[in-house]
Chain A
Amino acid sequence: MGKYIIVIISVLLFSGLPACFYSDRELFEVEPIPGDPPLFSLTTNLDTLRNPPVNDSLEVSYEVEISGGELYYLYADVASITIYESDSSSGSFWINASLADSPGVDSLHMEFYYSSNSNSLADKVGYEALVEYLSFAIDFNLEIKK
Chain B
Amino acid sequence: MIKKFIYLLTLSLLLISSTSVLAQSLGFTFALGGASVKMNDMKYLQEHILDTYPVEGKITSSFPPFTSASISVFKQLYDHIRIGGAYSYSTTGGKSSYADYSGNISTEINATSHRLGAYISYLVSGGNRLDLLLKGSLDANYTSLSIQSSYNIYSYQSGINNYYRSISPAITVGTELMYQFNKFSLGIEAGYLVDLAGDLKNRDSGEALLDPNDFERTLSSDWTGWYVQIKGMIPLKF
A interface residues, Cβ below 8 angstroms from B: 1-2, 5-6, 9, 13, 16, 19-24, 26-32, 118-125, 127-128
Contacts and interface: CB of A to CB of B under 8 A. Distances in A.
B153 interface: yes
Interface residues of B, number: 43
Given A26-B97, A28-B57, A127-B153, A121 B89 contact: no
Q: Which of B57, B103, B106, B153 has the most CB of A within 10 A?
A: B153
Contacts of B30: 13
B contact patch SS: strand
B103 A24 contact: no
B104 A27 contact: yes
Contacts of B66: 19, 22
17 contacts: A2-B181, A6-B184, A13-B30, A13-B32, A24-B95, A27-B98, A28-B57, A28-B97, A30-B55, A31-B100, A32-B101, A119-B55, A120-B102, A121-B54, A125-B54, A127-B102, A128-B102
Contacts of A9: 232
Contact of A29 (B67, B94, B99, B153): B99
B58 A28 contact: yes
B28 to A, nearest CB: 13
B154 A127 contact: yes
A28 B182 contact: no
Nearest to A19: B67
B153 A26 contact: no
A143 B3 CA distance: 92
Contact of B111 (A16, A19, A22): A22
